Amino acid sequence: MNRRMIKMNYAGATAKIFGSFDSNAEMIEKHFGVTLRNRESEAGDAIILEGEDEAAVEAASKCISYLHELSANTDILTEQSVQYAIDMISSGQSEALEKLGDECICLTTRGKPIKAKTVGQKRYVELIRKNTIVLGVGPAGTGKTFLAVAMAVRALREKQVNRIILTRPAIEAGEKLGFLPGDLQSKIDPYLRPLYDALYEMMGAEHYQKLVEKGTIEIAPLAYMRGRTLDDSFIILDEAQNATPEQMKMFLTRLGFNSKAVVTGDLSQTDLPRGQKSGLSTAVKILTGIDDIGIHYFSDCDVVRHRLVQKIIQAYERYDRELMRRDAEKQEKRNAKRKGEEK
């Protein structure tokens, strides 16, 4: 039997890797056909990895090494993170997985580094760094908005820009907003909460509030962008699938000198009235191939929320494909019937 030992020099790492009730260890053992044991030593916690297949032991050791590194930057190693590591290594992409932890985007208020957690997220971050405009399209839970905000905070801290502007389409100011108490800002705050949450984590509520008062950070509905030219700014348009083509064009043409714009959205969650085209969908088609504009598509593999989120997305995608197949079959039958009647 082949034997491989990995030593970790700080307490608690092994517990994170093994997971609650050894659930992570069981996933690794089941997939690679190996056994994992925990052993304490003078140098710290150690994991004994054993298996009859040398290649499987080597692959499992790479998975554990990655999880060991990831455990330093997170409180809990989720089942999704473990499964992602297993899938990447099994598909021969261990080198890409190892490079994920190369760069820290910025630090949270607790001093924890924010890094890309998937290869798709890393490509997205690289596109933001290299391009003036980036469109991030993909399902919920892929980190589109959070990473964009992290890149904006980094650019502000490094004095690459003078301010951060975050915007998203607000629900029309009728029944859906009118019943809420307070002024317009109070009414739109619930729809901007994800942006607040991301900034609070990276800056802290007090520091964030000071920057808002100075005008360094601005969060506003998309309608407020009309007629402005935004220089020296990092601008993020969130939930862009709910912008109309006219609103999208208006937003993109606000870009001024020394500015970046990131547009994020999920085309499967459009809340526009039936029959109304999404500005994000239109922009993706129109802007493809233009220099200095990057377009990144996230997949369900990039989901970093609860494992069920990934399964829910996959279920909805299967459902949508089945509906499209049925619609296509119905259309073919109608066409065939029409041709028969013409004859």
Find the Cα–Cα–Cα–Cα dihedral 146, 90, 50, 23, rounded to 10°.
Answer: 40
pLDDT digit string (tens) for the chain, length 343 residues: 446 555 545 456 778 888 888 888 899 999 888 888 877 655 556 777 788 888 888 888 888 888 887 777 776 777 878 888 888 888 887 777 777 766 788 888 887 888 888 888 999 999 999 999 999 999 888 889 999 999 999 999 999 999 999 998 875 433 455 555 565 566 666 777 778 888 888 998 899 999 999 999 998 888 888 888 889 999 999 999 999 999 999 999 999 999 999 999 998 888 888 788 899 999 999 999 999 999 999 987 777 655 666 667 667 767 777 777 887 788 777 877 777 776 6
> Can you give the pLDDT at residue 1?
46
Phi, psi (5° rounding) for residue 234? -110, 115
Long-range contacts of 191-198 (CB under 8 A, 24+ apart): 191/221, 192/166, 192/168, 192/219, 192/221, 194/145, 194/238, 195/145, 195/149, 195/166, 195/168, 195/219, 195/236, 195/238, 198/145, 198/146, 198/149, 198/150
> Can you give the pLDDT at residue 288?
92
> Can you give the pLDDT at residue 76?
75
Task: Report which of 58, 81, 70, 136 is spatially closest to residue 294, judged by C-alpha positions.
Answer: 136
Find the Cα–Cα–Cα–Cα dihedral 80, 195, 201, 266, rounded to 10°.
Answer: 10
pTM of the model: 0.75
- The separation between the first and the last C-alpha atoms of the chain, rounded to the nearest angstrom, is 75
Contacts of 132 (CB under 8 A, 6+ apart): 255, 259, 260, 261, 292, 293
Q: What separation in angstroms does the CA of 61 have from each of 57, 69, 93, 150?
A: 6, 12, 14, 31
Q: Which amino acid is at 310?
A: Q
> Can you give the pLDDT at residue 123?
92
